[in-house]
Amino acid sequence: MTRLEPRLARANGRLGASMRHLAAIVASAWALSFAGCGNAIQHPDVPPADVPTVDIAAEGSADARDVSDVLADAPDGLDAESDAPTDVQPDEPVFTGPPWCMTGVDVPGAVVPPGFCLREYVRVRAPRNLAFAPNGDLFVAAPATSTPGGSAGGPMNGSIVVYSDDDRDGIPTTSYFLTGLPSVHGVAFAGGYLYFSNQPATPPDGGVPQDIGLYRVRYTSGQRTAATAPELFATFDQGARWTHGLAATPSGVVYVTESTTGASVCDSRPLTGDVSIVDRATRTLVAQARGFRNPMYMRCHFRDETCIASELGEDEHRGTACNMGACALRGTTCDAPRSDCGGVCVDRQSDANHCGRCGHACGAGMSCVAGVCQAGCAPPRTMCAGTCVDTQTNPMHCGACGVTCVRGAREKLFVVRASTTYGYPCCYTQSVEGPLSDPRFNCGVVAREEAYFNIGETPFGLDWERGRWPAPFANGIFVALHGSYYLGPPGVGSRVIFAPTDPVTHAPSGEFTTFIDGWGPGSPQMRRATDIAFAPDGRMFVSDDWDGRIYWVAPMTLRRP
């Protein structure tokens, strides 16, 4: 139902209202009759023969411009190369249907807050990045190339897969927008195009490998198969990782992340990884923030130009952990009864972040007693800065409140700001020198991240809730922690976390707490939370690149359009 239809109904008076009421009763009765029936889970099939594959049409040129020039050449709502309108925003739906949670069945092992449900949506190999099209179709980047974290095998030698649900019954229809994209990763919509990153396959005759590049292809709302071949729009540093992130603002500015494979020297002007905007007029990337090791996932806020990205730190520089009330090198042998969870010594009988098992975190104001979460700060936990902590293991309150051990590398969330540097490899963070420090570089002037995590938690995808969920989750930020890969069994510590946000900056304004638990080793099916994207209908979608599934979560009261 569109915004126009309710106005027409009101104009018809009480008769129209009665008819709508009757329709709602019928829809609810239909849904109740099928409650408890599981959704049919879609599996990828061979796409039609006419699905386009990558064919480079044009290469980008090299130039450098100021960000103000970029924004001037690409005004809000217009493509810099065309006077035609860009993506048309869909009509705001009226949510009067039966609740989403009446469809599907619970996922074994999944733990969500009371009043929420989690459902399996679809199965697809290696779902790394999620992006919703203007009409609500879900676009998924599924690479065939093995990622550093071990996932691989995207369908059709790497694809951008489309999942649509026109009748809104919760059962998606599968389409293949593009195939033959072995290293596809980031995806974003802007200016009437779908942008994506990819490195084409090496020619079978052993020729020179093609460039890792930023590609784009024309897109119109509702389109589910590309009508034209994509063009190579800009190239990346060929020594960088291929796992680029993409995001677009409401005005159509496209951001892209570039990572480095490592650095061995700190000099007076470290460049390394960066976050850039896409200059559509000159087909170049204009760096905004520099000094990163591995910025990968990012998302822009749905209301304004705020964008937040995540960065992964170096495992070998993981700093110190709190063991028996004293700081010790992460990864050292833990004294009994503590055990290693992702390189951190914890007591799983009392640690609220690893209660009962690694990665199982208790909520805010709760403590872990005998491996079970319960309300209040039970011994040996102490209230420090409004949070229950164990001063024997907490790296921010080691031995006593305020005694910090974290001096090594860290995983980060940061707001992308122009002309900023984060200091890698010279600095771990603001005023904290790294192992490659140099007196020519002042760590006191580097930017500070909005939030950070321990090495091995691995923050991946993120997104903001749109204001339709109940407190305290409304307008909050949600982050998928991919969990450890090198410091423990793959997936240890994986979960989806939540934090409230500042209404102006949209940055986290409070402590992160676990929102979806049940991932990792030992889970019946949920292995590693990967990317997050909120749908226009209010559901939050979460991909799992290891187990090859996409889930959605919603409040019990959230209704279908």
- For the segment 73-124, what is each residue's pLDDT rounded down to a tens digit? 443 333 444 433 344 444 455 678 899 999 888 999 999 999 999 999 999 9
| CA–CA separation, 258 and 458 (whole Å) | 17
Examine the domain organization and report whether 199 and 287 are in the same domain. yes
CA 360 vs. chain centroid, Å, equals 20
**pLDDT, tens digit, for every residue of 124-167?**
999 999 999 999 999 999 999 988 777 778 889 999 999 999 99
pLDDT in tens, the chain (561 residues): 333 333 333 333 333 334 344 334 333 333 333 333 333 344 444 444 445 544 433 333 333 344 445 444 443 333 444 433 344 444 455 678 899 999 888 999 999 999 999 999 999 999 999 999 999 999 999 999 988 777 778 889 999 999 999 998 899 999 999 999 999 999 999 999 999 999 876 555 555 556 689 999 999 999 999 999 999 999 887 667 889 999 999 999 999 999 876 666 776 555 578 999 999 899 999 999 998 989 999 999 999 999 999 999 877 666 655 666 766 654 434 566 777 665 556 778 877 777 887 767 777 667 788 888 877 787 777 888 767 777 877 767 888 888 876 567 788 999 999 999 998 888 888 888 877 777 778 889 999 999 988 888 899 999 999 999 999 999 999 999 999 877 777 888 899 999 999 999 999 998 899 999 999 988 889 999 999 999 999 999 999 999 999 999 999 999 998
- Going from the C-alpha of 250 to that of each of 77, 126, 253, 300, 462, the distances in angstroms are 8, 28, 8, 8, 17
CA atoms within 13 A on the CB side of 271: 5
Written as six digits, the tokens of 76 are 């809000």
Examine the domain organization and report whether 551 and 444 are in the same domain. yes
Examine the domain organization and report whether 217 and 333 are in the same domain. no
* Cβ neighbourhood burial of 394 (10 Å; 0-12, 13-18, 19+): buried
**Which residue, among 374, 343, 337, has the nearest Cα to 358 in the 3D structure?**
343
Examine the domain organization and report whether 176 and 163 are in the same domain. yes
Examine the domain organization and report whether 348 and 434 are in the same domain. no
Examine the domain organization and report whether 143 and 291 are in the same domain. yes
Q: Is residue 55 part of a domain?
A: no
Tokens 């195939």 correspond to what residue? 179
- According to the model, what pLDDT value does residue 236 have? 84
Full domain range(s) for residue 330: 321-389
| CA–CA separation, 551 and 45 (whole Å) | 19
Domain count across the chain: 3
- Find the Cα–Cα–Cα–Cα dihedral 20, 22, 23, 27, rounded to 10°: 140
| CA–CA separation, 367 and 381 (whole Å) | 7
Examine the domain organization and report whether 481 and 540 are in the same domain. yes
* Cβ neighbourhood burial of 206 (10 Å; 0-12, 13-18, 19+): exposed
CATH of the domain at 300: 2.120.10.30
Q: What is the CA radius of gyration of the chain?
A: 24
- Going from the C-alpha of 357 to that of each of 191, 467, 547, the distances in angstroms are 46, 33, 20
- Find the Cα–Cα–Cα–Cα dihedral 87, 92, 98, 101, rounded to 10°: 50
| CA–CA separation, 518 and 66 (whole Å) | 46
Judge contact between 61 and 284, C-beta under 8 A: yes
Q: How many CB atoms lie within 10 A of CB 400?
A: 10
Amino acid at 92: E
| CA–CA separation, 146 and 153 (whole Å) | 7
Listed in sequence order, the residues at least 6 apart from 298 whose beta carbon sits closer than 8 Å to its beta carbon are 245, 246, 247, 255, 257, 275, 307, 308, 309, 310, 416, 462
Q: Is residue 215 part of a domain?
A: yes
Q: Is residue 561 part of a domain?
A: no
- According to the model, what pLDDT value does residue 239 have? 64
Judge contact between 194 and 260, C-beta under 8 A: no
Pairing of strands 284-292, 420-421: parallel
Q: Is residue 144 part of a domain?
A: yes
Q: What is the DSSP letter of 539?
A: P
Listed in sequence order, the residues at least 6 apart from 400 whose beta carbon sits closer than 8 Å to its beta carbon are 391
Written as six digits, the tokens of 548 are 């090859």
Q: Is residue 560 part of a domain?
A: no
> Residue 198: beta bridge partners?
213
Plot region of 50 (φ>0 → left; ψ -120 to 50 → alpha; else → beta) = alpha
Written as six digits, the tokens of 56 are 């480079």
Judge contact between 498 and 511, C-beta under 8 A: no
Examine the domain organization and report whether 298 and 352 are in the same domain. no
Examine the domain organization and report whether 175 and 213 are in the same domain. yes
Listed in sequence order, the residues at least 6 apart from 204 whose beta carbon sits closer than 8 Å to its beta carbon are none
Q: Is residue 399 part of a domain?
A: no
Examine the domain organization and report whether 224 and 326 are in the same domain. no
Examine the domain organization and report whether 421 and 506 are in the same domain. yes
Examine the domain organization and report whether 133 and 271 are in the same domain. yes
CA atoms within 13 A on the CB side of 335: 11
Q: Which of 361, 389, 417 marks a domain boundary?
A: 389
Q: Is residue 397 part of a domain?
A: no
Q: Is residue 129 part of a domain?
A: yes
E strand or H helix at 17: helix 14-34
The pTM (predicted TM-score) of the whole model is 0.74
In degrees, rounded to 5, the angle at the alpha carbon of residue 489 between the alpha carbons of residues 486 and 493 is: 90
- According to the model, what pLDDT value does residue 276 have? 95
